[in-house]
Amino acid sequence: MQRLAMDLRMLSRDLSVYLEHQVRVGFFGSGVGLSLIVGFSIAYACYYLSSIAKKPQLVTGGETFSRFLQDHCPVVTETYYPTVWCWESRGQTLLRPFITSKPPVQYRNELIKTADGGQISLDWFDNCNSKFYMDSVTRPTILLLPGLTGTSKESYILHMIHLSEELGYRCVVFNNRGVAGENLLTPRTYCCSNTEDLETVIHHVHSLYPSAPFLAAGVSMGGMLLLNYLGKIGPKTPLKAAATFSVGWNTFACSESLEKPLNWLLFNYYLTTCLQSSVNKHRHMFVKQIDMDHVMKAKSIREFDKRFTSVMFGYRTIDDYYTDASPNRRLKSVGIPVLCLNSVDDVFSPSHAIPIETARQNPNVALVLTSYGGHIGFLEGIWPRQSTYMDRVFKQFVQAMVEHGHELSSM
């Protein structure tokens, strides 16, 4: 055994020396290996530049809004270069929460009461050290709406606040009922079709700072809620403008896409468990009206919505709820400038469901459609930790509306 072990060590050493010599001399030394690497790199670069890196499609309902965006928000007309080693939709979607930084933000929490006896948690970033808007009375205010199970701690929300801080703005994050650690005082949570809580928050914030420019930005479900509110209320809102990111336009199409086997495995089942965990914390509040054991057995978002959300908000069927929840139906009634960023490869929001023709009929709406970016991904650069394309769109748009929004009415 000792002799066998020695022979194996000698054979391993000789083989290592041989391979090392062949790789160094035969592969690189002859120039063949280097040529292959250079050739592959050039081919990949050509493919990336011709097929991956593209300018977004800008869809507007009129020349006025289009010219305004080209002048004051040029990022929407520039080529978007997705991260070269991660441009596929699912990769962008999965990687973004882990790779992007989480800027530190100190919040001031406020709990406000609702008409039904419930409470809503608002997280304020007052930006008291603003160099550009030292008077808090007129400091621009940005209302931020996170996604389905998101809170003020999400990295994309923190990035928006960090960018708003640079501009001198104040931010307030609308946390949906029961998700931010506050007690649920009534047997009611939230959904993207019921806008009552959002109306309460908008009225409350505007009453505190009626002289400050007031804008809103919603991400994923937060964007769906925001668009449904704007579609219902039309121009009679204190909001000056709004932006949405990775909105699901048609809830039926979103659900169908997320129930495809790979998407269910990567996204649907996980989000379902997050929803179940969120409501299970307040289980005692729902047991009289909802079969919580049945809810906890749901294996998809659709099953959860059928067993919990649609029942909670009094819909006769899940189809009735999904019809009412889809913002594409209300886009034609939006009465203030709204920019909507979507990626056409977003598995949460299939491209065929994006209401391009409806957007073309409303002069207040602009769709910015990238070829890649996934769902709330929009990663760019070699190591996309500090900023995304979505961040740049947000910053330029809110700044454009605060500083130049008056031009839209005069055009």
Q: Which residue has the tokens 């209320």?
A: 233
- Dihedrals φ, ψ of 2, to 5°? -65, -40
Q: Any idea what DSSP says for residue 210?
A: T
Known catalytic residues?
220, 346, 375
CA 89 vs. chain centroid, Å, equals 13
Residue type, 324: D
- Tokens describing residue 82: 């997705």
Longest distance between any two alpha carbons in the chain, whole Å: 92
Residue type, 251: T
CA distance 9 to 325: 68
Name residues whose C-beta falls within 8 Å of residue 37's C-beta, 6 or more positions apart in sequence. Answer: none
Closest CA to 219 of 150, 304, 141: 150
CB 88 within 8 Å of CB 262: no
E strand or H helix at 325: helix 318-325
DSSP E strand stretches across 241-337: 241-245
